[in-house]
Amino acid sequence: DVKVTQSSRYLVKRTGEKVFLECVQDMDHENMFWYRQDPGLGLRLIYFSYDVKMKEKGDIPEGYSVSREKKERFSLILESASTNQTSMYLCASSSGAGRDYNEQFFGPGTRLTVL
Amino acid sequence: AQKVTQAQTEISVVEKEDVTLDCVYETRDTTYYLFWYKQPPSGELVFLIRRNSFDEQNEISGRYSWNFQKSTSSFNFTITASQVVDSAVYFCALSEGYSGAGSYQLTFGKGTKLSVIP
């Protein structure tokens, strides 16, 4: 059974804190993604990675960084959390690209509140 | 640039009614993939279907069916005899490109919230 897990379902942090969101997949997928989901805005891509130690900016990378030291793990880092980063964060993984693109599998999400 | 439009923000139907969720896309590529995902109240997105641009055959899976029409750039989703468990937000998504960063990404529509009333 394919699985993408995220370290927390709910997280509350204070403004200025450094926040780590962890994502692990057990499907040996090359590609991993971080999205944020906000009401009325849908899913927006923050960063993705197509290989270990590789990363690409998505549509809204400002205020975020990522780390992929192992194939199965992709971390999203909020260097200095701000209230406008309060959101639902979704991690996903997939295999293939271009002509061989396959569907993304999603984790359960982390609802982050920054006070 | 690629774009996915789901014009229906919210839909309510009574149980056992049929309902169609609309999806219109824009792309300059001739090769692309289209997807539908379901997000139930629990929050986890569930993959429903992938369709590539070369396959315009409609697909049926139980009560679900999909109508892909390249002429109108649409990929609509119909639920027949809706049930309360179908209540969710449904997202249409597009991927395109042979290479480069775009070939890995999905562009999502803003979603349609479906409420099925008992």
Nearby residues of B87 by Cβ (< 8 Å), 6 or more positions away? B40, B41, B114, B115, B116
* Residue from A36, A74, A101 whose CB has the most chain B CBs within 10 Å, to mutate: A101
Higher pLDDT, A104 or B96: A104
Q: What is the pLDDT of residue B43?
A: 87
Are B110 and A88 within 8 A, CB to CB? no
| Residue A88, CA atoms < 13 Å, CB-side half-sphere | 18
Among residues B28, B12, B14, B36, the alpha carbon closest in space to that of B97 is found at B28
- Residue B102 pLDDT level (bands cut at 50, 70, 90): low
Are A94 and B42 within 8 A, CB to CB? no
Q: Note the pLDDT tens digit of each residue in A26-45.
A: 999 999 999 999 988 889 99
pLDDT at B83 over 80: yes
Report chain A's mean pLDDT, rounded to a whole number: 93
| pLDDT cut 90: percent of chain B above it | 68
CA distance A82 to chain B (A): 23
| Contacts with B, A 64-103, CB within 8 Å | 88, 90, 92, 94, 97-99, 101-103
